[in-house]
Structure 1
Amino acid sequence: MMKFLLVSVLFSLLISNSLSTFQVYDSHPSSRDAQALISLKQGFLSPDPILNSWNESNIHSLCYWKGIRCDHFQRVVSVDLSNSNIFGVISPSIGNLEHLVNLSLAGNAFSGNFPLESGNLTSLRSLNISNNSFNGSLDLGLFSLLHLEVLDVYNNNLSGPLPQSVAKLKKLKHLDLGGNYFSGAIPPSYAGLKELEFLSLAGNDLSGVIPGEIGELTNLKQLFLGYFNDFDGGIPLEIGNLTNLLHLDLSSCGLEGEIPKQLGNLWNLDTLFLQTNLLSGPLPPQLGNLTRLKSLDISNNEITGEIPIEFSNLTELALINLFINKLHGDIPDFVSKLPNLEVLKLWQNNLTGAIPSELGSNGRLKELDLSSNRLTGLIPQSLCSGRTLRILILLNNFLFGMIPEDLGNCLSLSRVRLSQNFLSGSVPKGFLYLPELSLMELQNNYLTGNFPDEHTRVAGKLGQLNLSNNRLSGPLPLSIGNFPSLQILLLSGNQFTGSISSEVGRLQLVLKIDLSKNNFSGEIPADISKCLHLTYLDLSTNMLSGPIPAQLSEIHILNYLNLSHNILNDAIPKEIGTMKSLTAADFSYNDLSGKVPESGQFTYFNSTSFQGNPQLCGPFVNRTCVFPANPTEISVNKPRIQAKFKLIFALGLLICSLIFVCGALIRTRTLRFQTHSRKWKLTAFQKLDFGVEDILECLKDNNVIGRGGAGVVYKGTTRKGTQIAVKKLLGFDKDSYHDNGFSAEIRILGQIRHRNIVRLLAFCSNKETNLLVYEYMPEGSLGEVLHGSKGGFLDWQKRVKIGIEAARGLCYLHHDCNPLVLHRDVKSNNILLDSELEAHVADFGLAKFLLDNGTSECMSAIAGSYGYIAPEYAYTLKVDEKSDVYSFGVVLVELITGRRPVGEFGDGVDIVQWAKSTTSACKEGVFEILDSRLKDIPIEEAKHVFFVAMLCVQEQSVERPTMREVVHMLQQTKSNHNLISNSDKYPKKNP
């Protein structure tokens, strides 16, 4: 009996202990952490199942949840969900993670405000919520983050003044508030963050002066204050006290005055970026004390004087950028002796003298650009001694002598621009056939000899070759076909002779050929029709004979054809008139005969296109044709034939109309059944108060508000009153949204959040149709407003504001998205206006997706719109961010002039050509093209905006600014009380 009682007692104790253990575990703090995370997850929207492990049935594996790290007490100390493609909002429950040390939510698309005002995260040391879409202000308020060491909110939509409460976080070592919309001055109280090693306030809208107190942050190693900020005054002298500084970036922030000599005290500095400001005066010799400096960029300022001899001490320098300044004098010889120099860019200064003869002898030179100076003498022989030189640009100088033979063996070269000099002699052997070469410009020199013939070598990457306006002679060799990637071939203005080799037909990718102003003879080779991508062909001013090959009509995208000033004979092939792409042609001054075709594109050509051919006849040349047949028979039969044809055509048209009506009735009856029978998939990019039914209800003909190359746009109102715009994408094959990653690409666009970009709310699709759902913009597009009856209400300030806002949107796509997004179809009709006339960029990136899915055979239809397309697209069929910059420049010219891009300036002339020719592209000429509907315009503002527009529409893409620089320049537009009225013939002069 005693044994039984003893066993009973022991069993009871065991059960009691087990229950106690279970209760303790159930109330364990780690369970509270799990509940906090599950609550946090409820605010997330994620297209990927990355957080499936975060659920109540898996609490025992808390420390193995995605992105979670625990300490040895099983308390959550780290939450890292960076770059996880999550959007939604962040719940205040994050504050219940009491032991949290590190929080990283970077690289997602969260919106709303971050809940800093609540919680108990007293242990938090690292907070990283960069690259999201948080908006509003940053107020730490009651959030007692006294132990915080890292605060990173880079690239959000935070606004208002910089938070003063940050100064209370005395243990901060890393502070990044960059890439937001903070405004106002930098608080001097930030000087109290003595532990700070990293500080970035770049990419905001800050103003005022840079406070001298910043010099008290003596532990700083990296300081970024540039980009979009617009400070008054200059660089504070106190920055010279930051002797631990390694990286100093004050670029693109409106700084004025001279560079302080105190910067020479920053002994540890390895990077100094001061580019794109208004700095003036000479380069301080004290910068020669920065013996650890590796990168120096003071480009795009107003620096004067010579390059100091003290810079010879900077033996660690790998990069020197001093371009776009007012430097004069020689390039010092010590530059060629810097042992680590890799990049030297001094273009657009007033430098004179010879290029140092030993430049490149260190064997490390990779990029050299000394263009647009007044340099004389010879090109050094040692430039490629280390076989590392990639870029060689010396154009627009006074260089003479021969091109060094050694450059023909520089296998690393990819870009060469030596045009507009006085170079003589022959083209070095192998120079045109280098394996990495993509661009070769030697035009406007005095080069002689033959086109290099190296039939055993193939230049596989050469895309542009320009040898025009030299003294080259002899025939084109058979090796002209050894450039399989060539897109531009310019040989005009030389002395080439002989026939044009049929090997030209091997240039399968060529887009532009100009062989004009030479002495070519013989017939035009029919094989040129094999160049199916050709858009521009100029064979004028030669001695070509024989008939015009009808095969030219096989080049279906040819835009420009010039065969003038030759001795071509026979009739003009009527097939050429059927080429729908041909917009300009010139057959003048030949020996052509017969009737000029009256069909197709010929009806659009100017009469001057046919002059100088006395044997041509027809209405275009005002010369009657003599018919060889019996005129009586012709006059009787022709009307009968025409009458029969008209009758047959009318009957056919009637039958087609009946078929169309019947088809429409059948489609109307079955549309509702088909719509409900198809399976729709809705992908939401934020919380929606509508569903598929609301979206489909918008697809009615009376709801259409726009049509374009991408599709049809409908306006609709959901059952809860939300106004939306639905774009129905055209031309997709079945299942196309599964192909080429289209659905994934659209999700990337759906995560983009920016104040000046139209929000993509959702993507709705089935196997046959793709619908994009956007927020609705009640004022429509800028193009509709500007060129419509409301254009007169857009005063100057509204236009400048719209231009700046649109530029900000494009800048975000180019510089702050990962991966970057090219718009590819920037135009005024793709800039939408809300009820407050705030600009929002629309249809961004769609051109790429449409192209990838094969929705158009004509690439130009989806890689830009006529009048906005950059010049290089005509011969490369490729776009990059500088193509978007050109298109935006056209929009700026539209805002200035009130005119449409094309159709108002005569045949073949667009708004850019008209603006340049009317104003001679100078700022003062803007008064000739201002919109007459504008009343009073600030003189300096108009000149400044026009100057920015002309920079954007530069012929060479490399010379155009980035969208970051465009935004910065437009933000510098300041009101000037000296106004110009369009009723005045001339602008009022400043007193």
Structure 2
Amino acid sequence: MTITALTEFKRQIDQEGGEDLLRSWRVNNSTSYCEWEGVSCDIGAPDHVIDISLPGLGLQGTIAPVLSSLTFLINLNLSYNAISGDIPQFPPSLKFLDLSYNHLSGSIHTSTLSNLANLQTLDISYNALTGLNLFHNLLSGAIPSQLANCSMLHFLNLAQNNLSGSIPATLGTLSDLQVLVLWSNTLTGSIPAELGNCSYLVYLELSLNALTGAIPHQLGAIPFVCPSDPLIDGLLNLRSNSLSGNVPSALGNCSGLRMLYLNFNRLEGSIPQELGKLRNLRQLYFTGNYLTGQVPPSLGELVILEELMLNYNMLEGTIPESFSNLTAITILDLATTGNLPETFANASAIITFHMADNDITGTIPSLFGRLPNLQRLDLQGNQLHGLIPAELGNACVLSELNLQRNRLEGALPLEIGQIPSNLSNLNVTAASFADNSGLCGPPLAHLCHDLAKSYSKGNSRLIIAIILCGISAFLTLICCVFAWRKKYGPLAEAKQKFHQDSSKTLSAIRITAKELNTATGGFNEANLIGTGGTSKVYKATLREGLLVAVKKFNWEGNLQKAECFFRKECETLGKMRHRNLVRILSTCCNLEMKAIVLEYMPNGSLEKFLFENEEYQLNWRMLVDISSDVAQALVYLHHEGDVPVIHCDLKPSNILLDKTFTANLSDFGIARLLSPADDSYSASYFRGSIGYIAPECGELAHYSVKGDIHSYGVVLLCMLTGRQPTSEEFYEQGVEMPNWVKRLWPDRYLDALHPNLRLEVEASARQAIEKEVLQVMALWCTAQAPKHRPTSKDVVRKLTLLKSPHRHFKHPTLQV
């Protein structure tokens, strides 16, 4: 194997150069490869190559990927040559790698270097590299200033490592740099002003570090516009550091910014009015600083602004009248004083209105009842007085209402206190109105007696008698309704329809938090059937014996993110109906709980069948059927809805199997709905699961339907191989699962199959070819470039032919 690797390396070097620069590298019986120029072997093990040093020989061509098979190689020095092409995988044994002063191009991905656990020195300076992505590793120490020698670098991602020290000022010499991502390290010192020289920078992510000092005004020289790809959002994220000083007014010149996050720092002074020039801004976060003065009216000119967070500062004054222009606003969290104006009467998109713990006076305006998308209204901790407007009952999707610690008075409006059907999502308790001594009526403990006191004693008795009779009649009616519903009601009907595989759902039934608590045994761990990053799924038995799955969202540590996932999953699944998508039966949304009630899948997830059982439990027919079911779901998501939907997290644990082993796609918490005019979007944070996510998603957080196709291809490979993409086996070899399978093609393709499937191949020539076809399709789906991957419709057409008993296939060829 060693001699093969070395001769292949020589062949690729000579192929482009045309000269036999490695003349001593000849295979003969008299000379060992350990005597070849630049090759050194281990004294104790003469057949183990430990060193290849060939600097300054004028070598051309490309580096052969087969070098990764030299598992004892410690030092590789190819510096000062003219080698071009991409940087391939290297063996995990490597400690010293010097590729400086060459013509290498392309990008270095996390997968290229992530297996080099022993690497001590890396020198890739003076090349033509355009990208370096070392996201989510265990890198430590300082960021080397020599990275500036990679003068053609377009993106640099070193996020989620253990890097320390300061950000090198030399990075400011990277004139072509478009993306700089350093979040979640322990970087200190100030932000170098030299970064202002990176005029092509579009994405600057320095959050979650320990940076200090002022924000350099030189950053205002960066327009944050990507001329080659307008879909990339302009981002400046400096949140969660220890930055101080004023907010530079020069940031108002960053015309392409769509997201500006300066929250949770130590910034002071006023908010610059120049920020009103950022007409492309969609998200503006200043939460948790020491900002003073008034909110500048110029912010009202940001007419496409969707999220504005100014809370937990020392701002004063009233809400500017110009905020009436913010008709696209969905999340508003302000720190202000004075009355609540009618400014937001036209803000029909608003979802969250948060003005807690300010010094707001006056009454609650009725405008909140005219906001059709309002879900959360938090006005606690102010000086509001007067009555609660009954118009709040018109806010039909309102789910959270917090008015405690004010000076409100009078009876709670029936439109709120009794929770009518048009406010079925709203769950108010006494805590929602606590510390308002003048309030009375249900659900508060003290009732309103003002009306009774205005009557004489005789009239009071008459009124009491009438009330008692009314209550008695009302209770009788309730008992009758309850008895009728128990026998003929929608839940019993839903149970019957559910078992008949009808399309009827329980979405019209309001299931309370108490019912869910009872149905899951107090969310007992014994009923736990799944766990995710923001939720847990429990098996539950509702009244009438109906089995369901309850997905309860948890927000320990991140309330806002979990709420977002809950809302996103409801919005996405609520608009879709397909036999291969898990159905929402009902929801429970209140201050204490966010939960979705789903169909129960008795056979659990595909992950359970692949990885959690001692034996591989899929046969070939099941595998093809599951593949087809998931592909059909993707066709619906990508092509058949009103707008394309990207799932963003397709993996075996999100593929659920019903009693007939029909696959149902689930978990749409991070799914994304595209507008009809778009075919992709860029996210401000990482979405998806390691091993399944497409390369373009991990590097630039650039998502499209082709990202789902890549994940689907990895799932196919999981079913074919019985292996997980994050297996230690691939880590040790320094290769990703698709490339590992591709290496075995075509002569050893059977080696990639699970032993059970291999036995089926030996028993059936047709199945042998079918498995080849499916393996090639999986590799087609996982092609490096999105444009080379098929569509979900292409996949379904191929699988339809594969399932046809009369269709005969030829041996496929691999072209990816």
TM-score, reference length from structure 2:
0.55
1:593-742 to 2 correspondences below 5 Å: 593-597=409-413, 598-599=417-418, 600=420, 601=423, 604-628=427-451, 629-630=454-455, 631=460, 634=463, 705-707=502-504
Q: Which whole-Å CA distance do the structure 2 matches of 1:236 and 1:315 have between them?
A: 27
1:544-593 Cα deviation digits (max 9, x unpaired): 11111111111111111111111111111122133220111111111111
Give the CA deviation at 1:707. Answer: 4.2
1:89-108 to 2 correspondences below 5 Å: none
- Establish whether residue 394 from structure 1 lines up as the match of residue 206 from structure 2: yes
1:160-175 to 2 correspondences below 5 Å: none
Q: Which whole-Å CA distance do the structure 1 matches of 2:393 and 2:72 have between them?
A: 63
1:319-348 Cα deviation digits (max 9, x unpaired): 222232222222222223443232222222
Q: Which whole-Å CA distance do the structure 1 matches of 2:53 and 2:632 have between them?
A: 32
Residue 548 of structure 1: aligned partner: 364
Q: Which whole-Å CA distance do the structure 2 matches of 1:239 and 1:707 have between them?
A: 68
Kept after mapping to 2: 8 A contact 1:421/1:444: yes
**Residue number among 466, 484, 499 corresponding to 2:303 in the alignment:** 484
Residue 271 of structure 1: aligned partner: 86
Distance 1:214 1:338, change over 3 A: closer
Kept after mapping to 2: 8 A contact 1:307/1:331: no
Distance 1:836 1:257, change over 3 A: farther
Kept after mapping to 1: 8 A contact 2:408/2:436: yes
Residue 670 of structure 2: aligned partner: 870
Q: Which whole-Å CA distance do the structure 2 matches of 1:543 and 1:508 have between them?
A: 25
Distance 1:795 1:305, change over 3 A: closer
1:820-844 Cα deviation digits (max 9, x unpaired): 9635699999967599736365xxx
Q: Secondary structure at the match of 1:419?
A: coil
Kept after mapping to 2: 8 A contact 1:585/1:605: yes
Distance 1:430 1:794, change over 3 A: closer
Give the CA deviation at 1:542. Answer: 0.8
Residue 383 of structure 1: aligned partner: 195
Kept after mapping to 1: 8 A contact 2:94/2:116: yes
Q: Which whole-Å CA distance do the structure 2 matches of 1:298 and 1:825 have between them?
A: 20
Q: Secondary structure at the match of 2:263?
A: coil
Q: Secondary structure at the match of 1:544?
A: strand
Q: Secondary structure at the match of 1:336?
A: helix
The code of the aligned residue for 2:272 comes to: P
1:807-828 Cα deviation digits (max 9, x unpaired): 99479959x9999963569999
1:287-319 Cα deviation digits (max 9, x unpaired): 22644345333457254588847433x242332
The code of the aligned residue for 2:84 comes to: L
Q: Which whole-Å CA distance do the structure 1 matches of 2:502 and 2:394 have between them?
A: 34
**Residue number among 391, 407, 413 corresponding to 1:575 in the alignment:** 391
Residue 585 of structure 1: aligned partner: 401
Q: Secondary structure at the match of 2:323?
A: helix
Q: Secondary structure at the match of 1:529?
A: helix
- Establish whether residue 355 from structure 1 lines up as the match of residue 167 from structure 2: yes
Give the CA deviation at 1:539. Answer: 0.6
Residue 371 of structure 1: aligned partner: 183
Residue 471 of structure 1: aligned partner: 290
Q: Which whole-Å CA distance do the structure 2 matches of 1:830 and 1:445 have between them?
A: 38
Give the CA deviation at 1:509. Answer: 1.0
Give the CA deviation at 1:364. Answer: 2.2
Q: Secondary structure at the match of 1:448?
A: strand
Query: Unpaired segments of 5 or more residues in structure 2?
Result: 17-47, 226-233, 476-496, 508-575, 586-596, 730-816
Distance 1:256 1:262, change over 3 A: closer
Kept after mapping to 2: 8 A contact 1:539/1:564: yes
The code of the aligned residue for 1:606 comes to: T
Q: Which whole-Å CA distance do the structure 1 matches of 2:500 and 2:141 have between them?
A: 67
**Residue number among 118, 122, 131 corresponding to 1:319 in the alignment:** 131
The code of the aligned residue for 1:451 comes to: I
- Establish whether residue 452 from structure 1 lines up as the match of residue 272 from structure 2: yes
Q: Which whole-Å CA distance do the structure 2 matches of 1:788 and 1:471 have between them?
A: 50
Residue 247 of structure 2: aligned partner: 427
Q: Secondary structure at the match of 2:180?
A: strand
Q: Secondary structure at the match of 1:382?
A: helix
Residue 663 of structure 2: aligned partner: 839
Q: Secondary structure at the match of 2:176?
A: coil
Kept after mapping to 2: 8 A contact 1:323/1:346: yes
Kept after mapping to 1: 8 A contact 2:196/2:219: yes
Identity of aligned pairs, percent? 23
Q: Secondary structure at the match of 1:292?
A: strand
1:429-444 to 2 correspondences below 5 Å: 429-432=249-252, 434-444=254-264
Distance 1:957 1:311, change over 3 A: closer
Give the CA deviation at 1:395. Answer: 1.3
The code of the aligned residue for 2:344 comes to: I
**Residue number among 345, 367, 390 corresponding to 1:529 in the alignment:** 345
Q: Which whole-Å CA distance do the structure 1 matches of 2:654 and 2:680 have between them?
A: 18
The code of the aligned residue for 1:270 comes to: G
Q: Secondary structure at the match of 1:454?
A: helix
Residue 776 of structure 2: aligned partner: none
Distance 1:639 1:257, change over 3 A: farther
Higher-RCO chain (CA-CA 8 Å, sequence separation at least 6) = 2
Q: Which whole-Å CA distance do the structure 2 matches of 1:327 and 1:284 have between them?
A: 15
TM-score, reference length from structure 1:
0.46
Kept after mapping to 2: 8 A contact 1:212/1:239: no
Kept after mapping to 2: 8 A contact 1:501/1:525: no
**Residue number among 315, 318, 324 corresponding to 1:499 in the alignment:** 318
Give the CA deviation at 1:390. Answer: 1.0
Residue 114 of structure 2: aligned partner: 301
Q: Which whole-Å CA distance do the structure 1 matches of 2:77 and 2:284 have between them?
A: 45
The code of the aligned residue for 2:407 comes to: D
Q: Which whole-Å CA distance do the structure 1 matches of 2:241 and 2:409 have between them?
A: 44
Residue 724 of structure 2: aligned partner: 971
Kept after mapping to 1: 8 A contact 2:606/2:656: no
Give the greater-gyration-radius structure (CA). 1
Give the CA deviation at 1:428. Answer: 0.9
- Establish whether residue 822 from structure 1 lines up as the match of residue 645 from structure 2: yes
1:59-458 to 2 correspondences below 5 Å: 218=12, 246=62, 261-262=75-76, 264=78, 267-272=82-87, 274=89, 280=92, 284-288=96-100, 290-298=102-110, 301=114, 303=116, 308=121, 310-312=123-125, 314-412=126-224, 414-432=234-252, 434-454=254-274, 457-458=276-277
Kept after mapping to 1: 8 A contact 2:378/2:402: yes
Kept after mapping to 2: 8 A contact 1:450/1:472: yes
1:731-756 Cα deviation digits (max 9, x unpaired): xxxxxxxxxxxxxxxxxxxxxxxxxx
Residue 689 of structure 1: aligned partner: none
The code of the aligned residue for 1:463 comes to: R
Kept after mapping to 1: 8 A contact 2:648/2:670: no
Q: Which whole-Å CA distance do the structure 1 matches of 2:653 and 2:160 have between them?
A: 36
Q: Secondary structure at the match of 1:561?
A: strand
| More deviation, 587-596/574-583 | 574-583
Distance 1:612 1:797, change over 3 A: same
Q: Which whole-Å CA distance do the structure 2 matches of 1:218 and 1:317 have between them?
A: 20
Kept after mapping to 2: 8 A contact 1:261/1:287: no
Q: Which whole-Å CA distance do the structure 2 matches of 1:337 and 1:793 have between them?
A: 49
Kept after mapping to 1: 8 A contact 2:282/2:307: yes
Q: Secondary structure at the match of 1:508?
A: coil
Q: Secondary structure at the match of 2:218?
A: helix
The code of the aligned residue for 2:661 comes to: L
- Establish whether residue 511 from structure 1 lines up as the match of residue 330 from structure 2: yes
Distance 1:539 1:282, change over 3 A: farther
Give the CA deviation at 1:607. Answer: 1.9
Q: Secondary structure at the match of 1:481?
A: helix
**Residue number among 778, 797, 803 corresponding to 2:609 in the alignment:** 797
Kept after mapping to 2: 8 A contact 1:306/1:329: no
Give the CA deviation at 1:239. Answer: 12
Distance 1:799 1:582, change over 3 A: farther
Give the CA deviation at 1:236. Answer: 11
Q: Which whole-Å CA distance do the structure 2 matches of 1:449 and 1:773 have between them?
A: 52
